[in-house]
């Protein structure tokens, strides 16, 4: 926790410098006008959306082993959305004017839509999570009558946040790298990998240190779902690569920048791009084969590889090649500046603090022996 507070302080001081001097403190310029911040934003939208992977089987099919962990997924979604909003806030040139979003350019701007769906998704998850926690505090079951419709609503809402974010990119005819119909499906499938990857590791930590009751079966089921998602994700990536390289038009240049480089020297993103593809493929195999899926060592290696693979895919390999070369053919080699790294660290710190605080509040609900207040009294009375 102290480390997280330190991260936030470092991030805050770097952000203060950025506000004072302007975004010139970042590595972004007119040629590559979005960078690390928007990449992180895109990745975290996926993490937030991924809560539905757990929600769907838990509520629709009433699949018991996963049901308890849905709350954790929702808390993760809340923290991820807060980080998303923070990454947009640190990226804008005039943060004090973000209230102008209250007078949006509807319905034409996809960014205006994105603000709407992100906040809507945050509101739904916050309502459900806080309701369950509030009722749990008094030792009562949550009110199914209005939680269930909200949970069902959160499924399309989760799909919508990632779809709208994908449309935000794919609607730009000028950027051939993004202007592809399979961008939204790719976003969704990669999200269904990265979000659960975090949850997989998180649940094991909870289980080990807080003696939280989670069955192996639930973890393996999540890993199985991730294997399917990763297969579709890799397939879509392959389809994209085939189209670009076989048709060999001018538009190929962005993929060349991504995987090799231009004008005879390797681009700084190429090693990351290859590492991402390899990590995702290895993880897919680990999760596909039942033996490695059910072995916790290989399962955890797979989760880390997936997290890395998708983080690079969304954080680096999506944004930067979209801008390189620029619209007038210029190659500006973007790399995040120290300020950007520090600010991002701060945002992740905020996310971690929010998540820890939410989780600690929720724990008594999830684990009856930790219950405090009326819930504990009720439990004590029941046992007496």
Partner 1 sequence: MTDTKKSRHYESSLPMVSRRNFVKSGVLGGVAAYLAACDTNTQEEFFAKRFTELTPEALKERIAWLEKHYEKTYGEAFKVGTEGPIPDVLFGYALDLSRCVGCRRCAYACVSENNLSRDPQVHYIRVLEQPKGTGLDLHLANPYYERDHVPEEGHVYLPVACQQCENSPCERVCPVGATWKEPDGVIVVDYDWCIGCRYCMASCPYGARKFNWGAPKMTTGDSLAVKVLSAKPKGEGRFEVIVEEALDAPERLQPPHIMPTVVKRPFLDAKGNRFMTETLPVADTNPAARSTTRYRFEVVAKEAPATSSKDDEYGYFLDAVNPDTHYLGNRPRKKGVVEKCHFCLQRTRNGEYPACAEICPVGSRKFGNLLDPDSEIRYVLANKRVFVLKEELNTRPKFFYFFGV
Q: Which one, 179 or 300, has the nearer CB to partner 1?
A: 179
Among 250, 291, 297, 369, which residue sits at the site for partner 1 (rule: CB under 8 A)?
250
Q: Which one, 173 or 297, has the nearer CB to partner 1?
A: 173
Site for partner 1 in 286-325 (CB under 8 A): 322-323, 325
The tally of CA atoms less than 13 A away on the side-chain side of residue 370 is 14
Among 1, 2, 141, 173, which residue sits at the site for partner 1 (rule: CB under 8 A)?
173
**Least CB distance to partner 1 at residue 233 (A):** 24
Residues touching partner 1, count (CB under 8 A): 54
The tally of CA atoms less than 13 A away on the side-chain side of residue 52 is 23
Among 260, 326, 356, 361, which residue sits at the site for partner 1 (rule: CB under 8 A)?
326
Question: Of 174, 168, 193, 177, which is closest to residue 49 (Cα–Cα)?
Answer: 193
Residue 21 in contact with partner 1, rule: CB under 8 A: yes
DSSP string, 81-128: HHHHHHHHHHHSS-GGGGGGGGS--TTT-HHHHHHHHHHHHHHHHHHH
What token pair was written down for 59? 């509520």
**Least CB distance to partner 1 at residue 30 (A):** 6
Site for partner 1 in 343-382 (CB under 8 A): 372-374, 376-377, 380
Beta bridge pairs of residue 262 = 265
**Least CB distance to partner 1 at residue 323 (A):** 8
CB atoms within 10 A of CB 248: 8
Q: How far is CA 197 from CA 27, 55, 157, 272, in A?
A: 30, 15, 21, 19
Site for partner 1 in 82-121 (CB under 8 A): 88, 91-98, 100-101, 103-105, 108-112, 115
CA diameter of the chain: 78
Helix axes 270-288, 216-247, angle to 10 degrees: 140
Residue 196 in contact with partner 1, rule: CB under 8 A: no
Residues forming the site for partner 1 (CB under 8 A): 21-24, 26, 28-31, 33-34, 88, 91-98, 100-101, 103-105, 108-112, 115, 168, 171-175, 250, 253, 262, 322-323, 325-330, 372-374, 376-377, 380
């Amino acid at each position: 926790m102290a480390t997280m507070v330190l991260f936030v302080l470092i991030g805050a001081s770097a952000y203060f410098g950025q506000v004072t001097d302007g975004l010139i403190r970042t590595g972004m310029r007119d040629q590559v006008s979005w960078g690390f911040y928007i990449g992180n934003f895109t990745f975290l939208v996926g993490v937030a959306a991924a809560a539905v992977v757990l929600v769907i089987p838990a509520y629709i099919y009433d699949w018991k082993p996963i049901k308890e962990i849905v709350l954790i997924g929702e808390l993760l979604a809340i923290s991820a959305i807060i980080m998303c909003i923070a990454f947009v806030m640190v990226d804008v040139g005039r943060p004090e004017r973000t209230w102008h979003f209250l007078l949006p350019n509807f319905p034409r701007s996809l960014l205006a839509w994105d603000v709407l769906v992100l906040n809507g998704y945050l509101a739904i998850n916050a309502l459900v999570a806080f309701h369950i926690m509030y009722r749990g505090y008094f030792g009562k079951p949550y009110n199914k009558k209005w939680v269930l419709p909200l949970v069902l609503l959160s499924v399309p809402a989760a799909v919508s946040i990632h779809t709208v974010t994908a449309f935000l990119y794919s609607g730009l005819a000028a950027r051939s790298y993004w202007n592809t119909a399979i961008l939204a499906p790719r976003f969704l499938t990669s999200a269904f990998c990265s979000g659960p990857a975090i949850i997989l590791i998180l649940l094991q930590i909870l289980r080990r240190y807080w003696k939280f009751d989670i069955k192996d079966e639930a973890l393996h089921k999540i890993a199985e779902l991730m294997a399917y998602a990763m297969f579709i994700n890799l397939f879509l990536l392959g389809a994209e690569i085939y189209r670009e390289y076989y048709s060999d038009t001018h538009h190929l240049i962005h993929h060349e920048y991504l995987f090799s480089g231009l004008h005879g020297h390797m681009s700084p993103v190429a090693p990351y791009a290859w590492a991402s593809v390899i990590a995702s493929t290895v993880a897919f195999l680990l999760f596909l084969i039942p033996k490695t899926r059910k072995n916790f060592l290989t399962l955890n290696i797979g989760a880390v590889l997936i997290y890395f693979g998708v983080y690079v895919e969304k954080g680096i390999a999506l944004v930067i090649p979209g801008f390189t070369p620029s619209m007038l053919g210029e190659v500006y080699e973007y790399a995040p500046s120290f300020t950007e790294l520090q600010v991002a660290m701060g945002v992740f710190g905020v996310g971690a603090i929010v998540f820890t605080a939410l989780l600690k509040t929720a724990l008594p609900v999830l684990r009856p022996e930790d219950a405090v207040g009326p819930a504990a009294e009720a439990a004590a009375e029941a046992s007496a």
